Amino acid sequence: MKRQVKNNVYWLGKLDWELEEFHGSDYSINHGSSQNAYLILEDKKVLIDTVWRPHTNEFIDNLEKEIALKDIDYIIINHGEVDHSGCLPYLMSKIPNTPIYCSANAVKSIVGQYHHPEWNFNVVKTGDVLPISKDKSLVFVEMKMLHWPDSMATYLTGDNILFSMDAFGQYEAVAELFNDKADKCLLMEEALKYYANILSPFSPLVKKKLEEIKKLNLEIDIIAPSHGAIWRDNPMQIVDMYAKWCDNYKEDQITVVYDTMWEGTMKLAHALAEELKEQSPTTVVKLYNISKTNKNDIMTQVFKSKAIALGSPTVSKSILSSVGGWLHFLQELSLKGKKAAVFGCYGWSGEGNKVLREELTKAGFEVIDQEEKCSWNPREENFENMKNIAKELLK
């Protein structure tokens, strides 16, 4: 069912209440999601993006209630990923000559996925303009690496709407559709989770892109992303948050992360969390067992932290595989300007801390010298040493 965004602009997407993961199983979804497509009914009838392929029938049914497919003048594809381009094969089988406006890289991604080089692609780049009525036009803005090389945003003059694609979105089903009606805390937390887990590797590019968009002097009344709520109340608040997040973001928070075999490393983790709180009551302290909490939710907290402490027992001259996999993901995120400490129990050889130290350094963390390498189960002196680690992390 379509819903009005502003004047002749309508949301026509899929509120995906059942969705639990994205990018295979690499991104967890806790509150559903949406794929937002938009229909502009000016002199020219424009469809901006579609939805994920499994929802094609529902999407096309809804679309045909608003417009005969043959009356669609232009299709804008801001990004070729399947959650937005998924209905193209069906649409193009019905209206094969309809022009598709997209970036040069999107032609590559769409042809690569659907194998139809004969579709009527029209490549656009930043600043290109497509008039759609006497006084309204679409202006294209390439958004390379936010988060794919093909990503693009489309700006509608007159209504001052920026269709920003994945950027500024949240993986959350927002029945209320607009940010002023939604749960504001959840909205910002989901926007942050998306940034931390998907966009943080590209933070230097995000920074440059935000500066470039600023220079375009676009008057923005609404930011309409491809997932989650549409920002119509103070839309620049999410741009301001992105400006902070892309610039080595950290809050007064320390996150303790660990896995454990026989609870020794767990006891050290708990002791460190207590010590951090004791020494700095105002610092937010979080603690997670890697095997029990979803990695994306932990990474969101790591992203907010000024420092982390990571614990694993030694296993076969290395660390637990849960911690190894988690560290691999951490390295992908390219976080900067954060401290780390390592700790863990061992029975025989005790290489765990060295491995943790090396992998955290590769992930871009400044690993402090103080550590806890605990033989068998922790004793009083091991817990006592947590005072030194906490003190150094809090410096």
Q: Tell me whether residue 71 is one of the annotated catalytic residues.
A: no
If the CB atoms of residues 177 and 367 are measured against ligand FEO, the closer one turns out to be: 177
- Nearest-approach distance from CB 117 to ligand FEO, in angstroms: 22
- Sequence-distant (≥ 6) Cβ neighbours of residue 206 within 8 angstroms: 146, 199, 242, 245, 246
If the CB atoms of residues 142 and 166 are measured against ligand FEO, the closer one turns out to be: 166
Q: In this structure, what are the phi and psi dihedrals at residue 108, rounded to the nearest 5 degrees?
A: -60, -45
If the CB atoms of residues 242 and 346 are measured against ligand FEO, the closer one turns out to be: 242
- Nearest-approach distance from CB 105 to ligand FEO, in angstroms: 13
Q: Tell me whether residue 23 is one of the annotated catalytic residues.
A: yes
Q: Which of 23, 176, 240, 384 is catalytic?
A: 23
- Nearest-approach distance from CB 371 to ligand FEO, in angstroms: 39
Other CB atoms within a 10 A radius of the CB of residue 72 amount to: 19
259 binding ligand FEO? (CB under 6 A): no
Q: Tell me whether residue 190 is one of the annotated catalytic residues.
A: no
- Nearest-approach distance from CB 116 to ligand FEO, in angstroms: 20
DSSP string, 171-193: SS--TT-BTTTS-HHHHHHHHHH
If the CB atoms of residues 81 and 359 are measured against ligand FEO, the closer one turns out to be: 81
Q: Which of 166, 259, 371, 372 is catalytic?
A: 166
36, 50, 103, 226: residue in contact with ligand FEO (rule CB under 6 A): 226
Nearest to 336 by CA among 378, 373, 366, 372: 366
Q: Tell me whether residue 270 is one of the annotated catalytic residues.
A: no
Q: Tell me whether residue 79 is one of the annotated catalytic residues.
A: yes
Instruction: Determine the interface stretch with ligand FEO among 4-12, 75-83, 326-334, 380-388 (rule: CB under 6 A).
Output: 75-83
16, 42, 49, 83: residue in contact with ligand FEO (rule CB under 6 A): 83
- Nearest-approach distance from CB 179 to ligand FEO, in angstroms: 18
16, 49, 150, 166: residue in contact with ligand FEO (rule CB under 6 A): 166
In the complex, residue closest to ligand FEO by CB: 81
79 binding ligand FEO? (CB under 6 A): yes
If the CB atoms of residues 42 and 81 are measured against ligand FEO, the closer one turns out to be: 81
Q: Which of 83, 190, 275, 371 is catalytic?
A: 83
Instruction: Determine the interface stretch with ligand FEO among 81-89, 99-107, 206-214, 371-379 (rule: CB under 6 A).
Output: 81-89
84 binding ligand FEO? (CB under 6 A): yes
List interacting residues with ligand FEO (CB under 6 A): 79, 81, 83-84, 147-148, 166, 226-227
Residues designated as active site: 23, 79, 81, 83, 147, 166, 194, 227
